[in-house]
Structure 1
Amino acid sequence: MALRALQGFFESNISPGFLMLTVCNLILYGIARHVEAHGGIAAWRCISLFLGSLTLAGAFAASFLLGLPHEVRWLNEDEKRMANARTIDNQIAPDDTAKKWSWPQVKEAFQDPQLYFSIVNSFLANIPNGYGHSWLSTHIG
Structure 2
Amino acid sequence: MSTATARYAGQLRTEATHTASGTTIHTDAPVDNHGRGEAFSPTDLVSAALGSCMMTIMGIVAERQGLDLTGVTWSVTKHMAADPRRISEIEVAFQMPAALSPKERTTLENAARTCPVALSLNPEIRQSVQFSYEA
Above 0.5 in TM-score? no
From the two aligned structures, give the one with the greater strand fraction.
Answer: 2
Point out the structure with max Rg over C-alpha: 1
Larger RCO (CA under 8 A, 6+ residues apart): 1
Superposition TM-score tier, normalisation by shorter sequence: under 0.3
TM-score when scaled to structure 2?
0.27
